[in-house]
Amino acid sequence: KPLRVAIMGLGSYGSRVARAMKDCKRAKLVGVISGTPSKIEAWQEEYNIPAKNCYNYETYSQIKDNPDIDAVYVITPNGLHKEHAIGVANAGKHVICEKPMAVNASEAKEMVDACKAAGVKLLIGYRMHFEAKTQEVIKMRMNGEFGKILFFQGLSGFIIGDPTQWRLNYELSGGGAMMDIGIYSINGARYMIGEEPIWVTAQETKNNPEKFKEGVDETIQFQLGFPGGAVASCLSTYSMNNLDKFFLNGLNGFAEMQPSTGYGPIEGRTHKGPLNHPHVTHQTTQMDEMAAIILDGKKPLVPVDGEEGLKDMVIIDAIYKAVKEGRKISLV
Ligand code: NAD
């Protein structure tokens, strides 16, 4: 029996996930939640979704009476994730929520607690955790093949277009590039190094305050210090293209990935040679693996649960604080 999923938020990423799920073996798109009737109609036709599995934002609490939906994938703007994820949990369904899971750690904690109280699973859409080349590097690090890790570099950025989009509206985004793309370098630093950071420093550059209003970060450079002595040096930006690169250096070897988090194919090499794993659409693997986590209790190589998402939100809070106060912020 597959994991029967409804997607909430039929925007650009929701559409990508739906297309990818066509090739899933263990997850199946069976429902939608949308405020736009014309989109619901188009999706019903494209994905053969029965009317009884279609909801809008006023009616989706009724999903609790629908035995044909197991989980809801929340793919709405960041500022709505908390309300939507808790709404789904209260309807008794498992929650898969896009990154960033919320707009700060306190919201993220509320979501973790609400899902626990409701007895449902909460997973965050960290698709890279299931990507084969990424997993190979993580396994090499776990096997000690790089030796003691002392440095990671993460570069995450693209030039954002339309100034009126929700990503540049603080109420809906909760921030700027850091929330959207910088989070890949934060999460990547953690899964590549395999430790939790103990301090943060950060510096902001804002060249276009008209486009990037109060609270919406354009470019932030940040550094994370790890207990084993490693430092991560990262860049998050909405003002430069072609920034999608990870570099991990240990005393006995290295891994270099570019692109490192784009939709793929990921490309990379280590001191042992190129990474050759075939490309599979990330979201197809992700949804099959998430079905196994929810249905079979499978343990992923790197966690994708609410606690994992919360860790990134704590770091994002500390990065913003480091920028604001111009000092090193301790995470312990
Ligand atoms: P989008 O604007 O294309 O889609 C957002 C959807 O939410 C739209 O269909 C919109 O109608 C709907 N929505 C519901 N209530 C809304 C409201 N009050 N205001 C505005 N829109 C509302 O955005 P997207 O690119 O699909 O991003 C959605 C989420 O997915 C974000 O959290 C984003 O960070 C995440 N995302 C993740 C990845 C990834 O690779 N994991 C990639 C892209 C986006």
Strands 149-157 vs 243-250: parallel, antiparallel or unpaired: antiparallel
Long-range Cβ pairs for the range 257-263 (8 Å, 24+)? 257/133, 257/134, 257/137, 260/134, 260/154, 260/184, 260/188, 261/128, 261/156, 261/184, 261/188, 263/16
Do 88 and 190 reside in the same domain of the chain?
no
Query: How confident is the model over 252-298, as pLDDT tens digits?
Result: 999 999 999 999 899 999 999 999 999 999 999 999 999 999 999 99
In whole angstroms, give the CA distance from residue 179 to residue 108. Answer: 13
The yes-or-no answer on residue 328 being catalytic is no
Q: Is the CB of 158 under 6 A from ligand 1?
A: no
Which residue is catalytic, options 28, 82, 93, 99? 99
Do 30 and 78 reside in the same domain of the chain?
yes
- Output the average pLDDT for the chain: 98
CATH number where 318 lies: 3.30.360.10
Supply the range of the domain harboring residue 317.
128-275+306-330
Domain membership flag for residue 205: yes
CATH number where 48 lies: 3.40.50.720
Domain membership flag for residue 323: yes
Query: How confident is the model over 123-154, as pLDDT tens digits?
Result: 999 999 999 999 999 999 999 999 999 999 99
Structure tokens at 106: 């306190």
DSSP label at residue 212: S
Q: How confident is the model at residue 119 (pLDDT cuts 50, 70, 90)?
A: very high
The answer to whether the predicted template modeling score (pTM) of the entire model surpasses 0.90 is yes
Domain membership flag for residue 292: no
Do 111 and 179 reside in the same domain of the chain?
no
Average pLDDT over residues 89-108: 98
- For residue 150, the model assigns a pLDDT of 98
ipTM above 0.90, yes or no: yes
Do 105 and 160 reside in the same domain of the chain?
no
Q: Can the peptide bond before residue 265 be classed as cis, meaning omega within 30 degrees of 0? A: yes
Estimate to the nearest angstrom the gap between the alpha carbon of 61 and the chain centroid.
25
Rounded distance from Cα 183 to ligand 1 centre (Å): 16
DSSP label at residue 305: B
Do 169 and 249 reside in the same domain of the chain?
yes
Structure tokens at 192: 């590549």
Structure tokens at 256: 């270099």
- For residue 65, the model assigns a pLDDT of 98
Look at residues 103, 127, 151 and tell me which one is the last residue of a structural domain. 127
- For residue 278, the model assigns a pLDDT of 97
- For residue 224, the model assigns a pLDDT of 99
Q: Is the CB of 175 under 6 A from ligand 1?
A: no
Look at residues 79, 105, 127 and tell me which one is the last residue of a structural domain. 127
Structure tokens at 213: 């209003």
- For residue 34, the model assigns a pLDDT of 98
- For residue 43, the model assigns a pLDDT of 98
Average pLDDT over residues 303-311: 98
- For residue 185, the model assigns a pLDDT of 99
Domain membership flag for residue 289: no
Domain membership flag for residue 321: yes
Do 134 and 236 reside in the same domain of the chain?
yes
Domain membership flag for residue 294: no
Q: How confident is the model at residue 100 (pLDDT cuts 50, 70, 90)?
A: very high
Q: What total number of domains does the chain contain? A: 2
Do 136 and 88 reside in the same domain of the chain?
no
- For residue 306, the model assigns a pLDDT of 98
Pocket test for ligand 1, best of 12, 19, 181 (most atoms within 8 A of CB): 12
Q: Is the CB of 11 under 6 A from ligand 1?
A: yes
Q: Is the CB of 75 under 6 A from ligand 1?
A: yes
In whole angstroms, give the CA distance from residue 73 to residue 90. Answer: 14
Instruction: Please give the C-alpha separations between residue 24 and each of 98, 134, 255, 261, 289, in angstroms, as whole numbers.
Output: 19, 20, 30, 21, 10
- For residue 144, the model assigns a pLDDT of 98
Q: How confident is the model at residue 87 (pLDDT cuts 50, 70, 90)?
A: very high
Do 179 and 209 reside in the same domain of the chain?
yes
- For residue 164, the model assigns a pLDDT of 97
Do 313 and 173 reside in the same domain of the chain?
yes
Q: Is the CB of 244 under 6 A from ligand 1?
A: no
Do 141 and 76 reside in the same domain of the chain?
no
Q: How confident is the model at residue 173 (pLDDT cuts 50, 70, 90)?
A: very high
Query: How confident is the model over 46-63, as pLDDT tens digits?
Result: 999 999 999 999 999 999
Do 139 and 120 reside in the same domain of the chain?
no
- For residue 318, the model assigns a pLDDT of 98
Domain membership flag for residue 290: no
Domain membership flag for residue 19: yes
State residue 300 phi and psi, 5-degree precision.
-75, 160
Query: How confident is the model over 178-192, as pLDDT tens digits?
Result: 999 999 999 999 999
Look at residues 77, 92, 127 and tell me which one is the last residue of a structural domain. 127
The yes-or-no answer on residue 82 being catalytic is no
Do 47 and 133 reside in the same domain of the chain?
no
